[in-house]
Structure 1
Amino acid sequence: MSPRVSFVIPTKNRPEGVRRAVTSVLAALPEDGEVIVVDDASDPPATHALREVTDPRMILYVNPGPHGPSAARNFGVRQTQAPVLMFLDDDDLLVEDYCLRVISRIDSLPDDCTFGFSASYHLEPDGSWTEVQSISPAGVLGDETPLKYRQAGLGMGCWITRAAFDAVGGLDESIDVNEDTEFSVRLAASGHRCYCDQTPGVILIHDPVRSASDQSSITKAAGARARFRGFEYILLKHQDFLKGHGAFRRKMFTRVVKYRVRAGSVAGWFRFCAQHRPVSDVVLYIAPGALWLGLSKLLRRKP
């Protein structure tokens, strides 16, 4: 019997985290669901951490490469034929009723509402949970909703129909950070609407309460250079679509400048700006960006 829903959990060097993540999903999964764990070059292999998990609904695969969060997720998706895909990071937990909430809701959604995300709980150092609402309004979100509210973080209770995932070509393996932003922009550009569930679907476990044996967040570990290159990549790849989303584009440019300042990198800024149209918009970005980058460079040189 083919699974109705498949969770894809990529993992690397988080033995305690992935064990807890898988356990939380199995407790919430219907009998016709499955958990695809993708070992993305863990050392020691993830099979060590999961050796006591005997539930046949969990299947562990070793990603032969290419590696990275997007490539590992794409590899995991290729291992299943489930019509509904859900994602969970290997350092987070699933709220027990979330999977069934998603499955029961999908059939009532418009045909073009093909993906969604949820609010979350944050695990605090004292063991308590803090509920954190999504910045997005609840319900079906389409063109009438600003693009910044249609961003589905892959670790934020993200689900998507298999048909939609395949239609847009899966995740872009060219970038290791900001990949969920690129994916959400691509889905919006292709006419897909999303659903925001303001009842938490995941429990996020951040560095202060993560097991000491587990690797830190990939996004936090990524250098400022990788961060600004990711945002520049998205702005260039989707610049035709983003012309109609000025507020979102300005926010992205601001992030480029922010992380360029942190990286102390001026090289390539003018070339990057020159690739954008219309020219009137570029002038708004290039001058203040150059000023901030120049000042940061001077401050770094002060004894």
Structure 2
Amino acid sequence: MPRVSIIIPCYNAGELLTEAVQSALAQTWEDLEVVIVDDGSTDSATQKILEQASWPRTRIVHQTNAGPSAARNRAVQMATGQYILPLDADDTIEPQYVAKAVAVLDARPEVGVVYCKARKFGAEEGPWNLPAYSLRELVIDNVIFVTALYRKADWAAVGGYNEKLRHGVEDYEFWVKIVHLGREVVQLDESLFNYRIQQKSRTTSFQDGRAAVVETYAEIFRSNISFYAAHADFLFEHRFGLYDELGHWRSRYGKLDAFFNRHPVLLKIGRRLKRICRY
């Protein structure tokens, strides 16, 4: 029975951390440890929880704030498991997730990543309808969430998580590197991961800042040029598909757009009404 290490980076997660840890320890897979890396939390409630924690099979490490990539790398370095499952401090997993994912990695050495379907909870409820995994989808953008099982040996082979990526989507680049090793990806046909939606989070802050998004994806591209070059056809198919879609909507609504350009006052009124409707 291979040991599994569930790694949890924590930065000011507060009470949410307890739910994440409890879901990790509730796994039906027996040979399991939890490694928490406190990434320089400044919140007093989080600090108190970590100081008073007495969770079984759990180790807690503290470091100065260095970002989630550095925290995950530190956790994996300390992990004793053959397989690694990252879990963010505000999310949870269902009890069967580890056992079912391990079964795939054990049976299929060509597979490097196992994940599942997911549900949203918190500020938004319901299934998280990500596109199904394919190499084409991964080339265009990420379709694998961070909480997927992989081999510690593959983490070492690709050099871990890119610590330059402090704004977000560092897990995307990690999966790109794993797939570029020649590993396959399997998605379990069950919702075993629960993704918490918050009104304000690192993800929403990242998506709101165009400059940070451009900088991040440019770094991912530069660091993985061989991967994107090998699959450039997918990128250009997607690009020209967007051109076709834009052309369709322009032909359909071009006259309306031209009308508003001739009458800018009406356009301003429409924008005001849109803002009012939001509230």
Pairwise TM-score range, normalised by the shorter structure: 0.7 to 0.9
Q: For residues 70 and 81 of structure 1, what CA distance do their matches in structure 2 show?
A: 19
Structure 1 position 113, deviation (Å): 0.9
Counterpart of 2:178 (choices 184, 187, 207) is 187
Q: Would you say the 8 A contact 1:38–1:76 is kept in 2?
A: yes
Distance 1:247 1:220, change over 3 A: farther
**C-alpha deviations, 1:232-276, integer Å up to 9, x for none?**
11222222321232365459989xxxxxxxxxxxxxxxxxxxxxx
Within-5 A mapping of 1:263-282:
none
What secondary structure does 1:235 align onto?
A: helix
Q: For residues 168 and 153 of structure 1, what CA distance do their matches in structure 2 show?
A: 17
What secondary structure does 1:28 align onto?
A: coil
Paired letter, 2:160: G
Look at both structures and tell me which one has the larger radius of gyration over its CA atoms. 2
Q: Would you say the 8 A contact 2:9–2:89 is kept in 1?
A: yes
Which residue does the alignment assign to 1:162? Answer: 152
Q: For residues 237 and 253 of structure 1, what CA distance do their matches in structure 2 show?
A: 21
**C-alpha deviations, 1:201-239, integer Å up to 9, x for none?**
21111114xxxxxxx421222332211101111222222
Which residue does the alignment assign to 1:131? Answer: 127
Within-5 A mapping of 1:1-303:
4-28=3-27, 30-44=29-43, 46-50=46-50, 53-64=53-64, 67-109=66-108, 111-125=109-123, 129-137=125-133, 145-148=135-138, 151=142, 153-155=144-146, 157-176=147-166, 177-208=168-199, 216-222=200-206, 223-246=209-232, 248-250=234-236
Q: Which moved more, 1:114-123 or 1:52-61?
A: 52-61
Distance 1:16 1:125, change over 3 A: same
Structure 1 position 151, deviation (Å): 4.2
Structure 1 position 173, deviation (Å): 0.6
Paired letter, 1:220: T
Paired letter, 2:205: A
Distance 1:250 1:217, change over 3 A: farther
Q: For residues 124 and 13 of structure 1, what CA distance do their matches in structure 2 show?
A: 18
Gaps of 5+ in 2: 241-279
Q: Would you say the 8 A contact 2:14–2:49 is kept in 1?
A: yes
Distance 1:88 1:248, change over 3 A: farther
Greater fraction of residues in helix: 2
After superposition, the CA RMSD in angstroms is 2.7
Structure 1 position 106, deviation (Å): 1.9
Q: Which moved more, 1:112-121 or 1:52-61?
A: 52-61
Q: For residues 27 and 102 of structure 1, what CA distance do their matches in structure 2 show?
A: 15
What secondary structure does 2:107 align onto?
A: coil
Q: For residues 145 and 48 of structure 2, what CA distance do their matches in structure 1 show?
A: 26
**TM-score, L = length of structure 1:** 0.69
Structure 1 position 104, deviation (Å): 2.4
Q: Would you say the 8 A contact 1:235–1:249 is kept in 2?
A: no
Structure 1 position 99, deviation (Å): 1.3
**TM-score, L = length of structure 2:** 0.75
